[in-house]
Amino acid sequence: MLDILSLVGALNRPSLLVRTARIGADSYRRSVHLPRVLGTVAIPRTGQAILKLLEIEADCEDRRVADRADYSVARHVEVLIAIMAEARLLRASVRDVEQTAG
């Protein structure tokens, strides 16, 4: 799980995208937002969701850097919001496990 968090921590995106996503992450509702972002009905476990979100985000980033006409800032921010919020959930679950074990 910590490796997944390392992948999230390694993302280096423009500060405006990151700040906007941080604001949006506060109102993230997993049951509503995650299926829409992933394009699925079933909600995967947090770690699996983050890995899929990272794939989607990499595609968004490639489109942004290539200055493609089909790049959507709104989609990119939506994906970053989900990544940040899912990472928060994963960190919280890791802390809960550590506190229970400790």
Query: Around Cβ 73, how many Cβ atoms within 10 Å?
Result: 12
- Residues present in the chain in total: 102
At a CB cut-off of 8 Å and minimum separation 6, what does 35 contact?
41, 42, 43
Q: What is the pLDDT of residues 45-76, one digit of tens each?
A: 999 999 999 999 999 999 999 999 999 999 99
pLDDT band per the 50, 70, 90 thresholds, residue 13: very high
Output the CA angle 76-64-50, nearest 5 degrees: 40
Threshold 0.95, pTM exceeds: no
Of 53, 60, 21, residue with least CA distance to 36 = 53
